[in-house]
A and B are shown apart, each in its own frame.
Chain A
Amino acid sequence: MDTEKTVIRVEHVSKEFRLFSDKGVYLKEKLLFRNRRRYEVRKVLKDISFEVKKGEAIGLIGENGCGKSTTLKLLSQIMYPDSGTITMKGRVSALIELGAGFHPDMSGRENIYTNAAIFGLSKDEIDNRLQTIIDFSELGAYIDNPVRTYSSGMYMRLAFSVAINVDADILLIDEILAVGDIAFQAKCFNKLREIKRNGTTIIIVSHSLGQIEQICDKSYWIDKGLIRESGDPKTVHAYYLEYMGQKEGNALSDNEDKISETCSETNEKENAGEKLGENERITGDPEETAQKRKRFGSGEVVIDSVTILGDDEIAKETFKSGEKMTVIAAYHTIHKISDAMIGFGIFRVDGVHVAGTNTYIDHLGDVELKEKGTIICEIPHINLVSGEYLFDFAIHSTSSKVYDDWKSVQRIRIYSDTYDIGIVHINHKWEID
Chain B
Amino acid sequence: MNSLKEIYQYREMIRMMVRRDLRGRYKASFLGFLWTFINPLLQLGVYTIVFSVIMRSNIEKYYLYLFIALIPWMFFSSSVQGGATCVLIQKDMVTKIRFPRQVLPIAHVTSCFINMLLCFIVVLLVCLFSTGLNFVVLPMLIPVMITEYLLSLGLCFLVAGATVYFRDLEHITGILVMLWQFLTPVMYSVEMVPEELRYFFMLNPMTPVIICYRDILYYKQVPQLQTLLVSFGLGLLFVVTGWFLFDRLQRHFAEEL
Greatest chain A CB density within 10 A among B13, B94, B251 is at B13
Option from A17, A94, A116 in Cβ contact (under 8 Å) with B98 = A94
Residue A121, interface by CB 8 Å:
yes
Inter-chain contact B98/A76, CB cutoff 8 Å = yes
Chain B interface, DSSP helix/strand/loop, else mixed: helix
Are B166's CB and A78's CB within 8 A?
Answer: no
B9 engages A27 (CB within 8 Å): no
User: In residues 117-170 of chain B, which contact A (Cβ within 8 Å)?
Assistant: 166-168
Set of chain B residues within 8 Å of A116, measured between Cβ atoms = 12
Please tell me if the beta carbons of B97 and A118 are within 8 angstroms of each other in the complex: yes
A78 close to B252 (CB less than 8 A): no
Q: Does A73 reach chain B (CB closer than 8 Å)?
A: yes
Select which of A26, A94, A97 is within 8 A of B167 by beta carbon. Answer: A26
* A120: Cβ under 8 A from any B Cβ: yes
Q: Which residues of B contact A103 (CB under 8 A)?
A: 20
Q: Is B13 in contact with A79, judged by CB distance below 8 angstroms?
A: no
Does B175 sit at the interface, judged by CB under 8 A? Answer: no
Q: When chains A and B are docked, how far (Å) is the Cα of A80 from the Cα of B101?
A: 13
Question: Given A28, A79, A96, A101, which contacts B255 in the complex, CB threshold below 8 Å?
Answer: A79
Q: Are A126 and B12 in contact (CB under 8 A)?
A: yes
Of A97, A114, A119, A126, the residue contacting B96 (CB under 8 A) is: A97
B8: nearest chain-A partner, CB-CB: A122
Chain A residues with CB under 8 A of B95: 78
Smallest CB-CB separation from B100: which chain A residue? A120
Chain B residues within 8 Å of chain A by Cβ, number:
24
B164 to chain A, nearest CB (A): 9
B16 contacts A117, C-beta separation under 8 Å? yes
A114 CA / B51 CA spacing, docked (Å) = 45
Q: Does any Cβ of A come within 8 Å of B99's Cβ?
A: yes
Q: Is A113 an interface residue (CB 8 A)?
A: yes
Residue B49 is within 8 A (CB to CB) of chain A in the complex? no
> Any chain B CB within 8 A of the CB of A369?
no
Residues of chain A from 75 to 91 with CB closer than 8 A to chain B in the complex? 76-80
Residues of B within 8 A of A120 (CB): 6, 9-10, 12-13, 99
Report whether B98 and A114 are in contact in the complex, using a CB–CB cutoff of 8 Å.
no
Q: Find residues 88-140 in chain A having any chain B CB closer than 8 Å to their own CB.
A: 92, 94, 96-97, 100-101, 103, 113-114, 116-123, 126
Are A100 and B254 touching (Cβ within 8 A)? no
Q: Of the candidates A26, A79, A94, A121, which one forms a contact with B12 in the assembled complex, judged by CB atoms under 8 Å apart?
A: A121
A77 / chain B contacts, CB cutoff of 8 Å = 98
* Beta-carbon nearest neighbor of B250 in chain A: A80
Is B12's CB under 8 angstroms from A78's CB?
A: no
* Interface: A25 (CB within 8 A): yes
Report yes or no: B10 in contact with A101, Cβ–Cβ below 8 A: no
Distance (whole angstroms) from the CB of A130 to the closest CB of chain B: 13
Closest to B12 in A: A117
* Residues in A18-49 with C-beta less than 8 Å from chain B: 25-28
Among B13, B20, B96, point to the contact of A96 (Cβ < 8 A): B96
A26 to B166, CA, bound (A): 6
**Partner of B97 from A80, A101, A123 at Cβ < 8 Å:** A101
A78 in contact with B96 given A120-B13, A122-B9 (CB within 8 Å): yes
CA–CA, A122 and B6, complex, Å:
12
Q: Which residue of A lies closest to B9 (CB)?
A: A120
Most B C-beta atoms less than 10 A away, residue of A101, A113, A123: A101
In the complex, A78 Cα to B254 Cα: how many Å? 6
Check B13–A117 contact: CB distance below 8 A.
yes
Residue B25, interface by CB 8 Å: no
Q: Which B residue sits closest to A23, measured CB to CB? A: B256
In B77-102, which residues have CB < 8 Å from any A CB? 92-99
**Cβ of B11 < 8 Å from any Cβ of A?**
yes
**A3 CB to closest chain B CB, in angstroms?**
25
B168 touches A26 (CB 8 A): yes
Q: What distance in Å separates the Cβ of B234 from its nearest Cβ neighbour in chain A?
A: 28
B96 touches A25 (CB 8 A): no
Contacts of B10 in A (CB 8 A): 117, 120
The answer to whether A100 touches B167, judged by C-beta atoms less than 8 angstroms apart, is no
Q: Which residues of B contact A114 (CB under 8 A)?
A: 16, 20
A101 to B96 CA separation, bound complex (whole angstroms): 9
Q: Contact: B98 with A25, CB < 8 Å?
A: no
The residue on B at minimum CB distance from A122 is B12
Interface residues of A in 344-401 (CB under 8 A from B): none
Chain A residue numbers with a CB within 8 Å of B99 are 118-120
Q: Nearest Cβ in chain B — how far from A169, in angstroms?
A: 13
Task: Report how far A339 CA is from B127 CA in the complex, Å.
Answer: 114
What chain B residues lie within 8 Å of A78 (beta carbons)? 94-98, 254
A118–B167 touching, CB < 8 Å? no
CA distance A118 to B11 in the complex (A): 10
Interface pair B11/A100, CB less than 8 Å apart = no
Cβ proximity bits B51-86 to A, threshold 8 Å, 1 near / 0 not: 000000000000000000000000000000000000
Known contacts A101-B97, A120-B10, A73 near B167 by CB under 8 Å: no
Specify which of B12, B15, B94, B99 lies most central, judged by the most chain A CB atoms within 10 Å of its CB. Answer: B12
CB pair B93–A27 under 8 Å, yes or no, is no
Q: Contact mask A293-308 → B, CB, 8 Å, 1/0?
A: 0000000000000000
Residues of A with C-beta under 8 A to B167? 25-26
**A77→B252 CA distance, assembly (Å):** 10
Across the interface, do B251 and A80 meet the contact criterion of CB distance under 8 Å? yes
Q: Distance (Å) between the CB of A58 and the closest chain B CB?
A: 18
Q: Which residue of A lies closest to B92 (CB)?
A: A100
A76 CB contacts on chain B under 8 angstroms = 98
B46 to nearest A CB, angstroms? 33
B14 CB to closest chain A CB, in angstroms?
A: 8
> For the complex, what is the distance from the CA of A104 to the CA of B34, rounded to whole Å?
24
Closest CB pairs A-B (n = 5): A97-B96, A100-B96, A80-B251, A117-B12, A117-B13
Besides A80-B252, A114-B20, A117-B12, 9 more A-B contacts (Cβ < 8 Å) are: A25-B167, A78-B94, A78-B97, A97-B97, A101-B97, A117-B10, A120-B12, A122-B9, A122-B12
**Can you give 9 contacting A-B residue pairs, CB < 8 Å?**
A77-B98, A79-B255, A80-B252, A101-B92, A116-B12, A118-B93, A120-B12, A120-B99, A123-B15
The interface of chain A, by Cβ under 8 A from chain B, is 17, 25-28, 73, 76-80, 92, 94, 96-97, 100-101, 103, 113-114, 116-123, 126
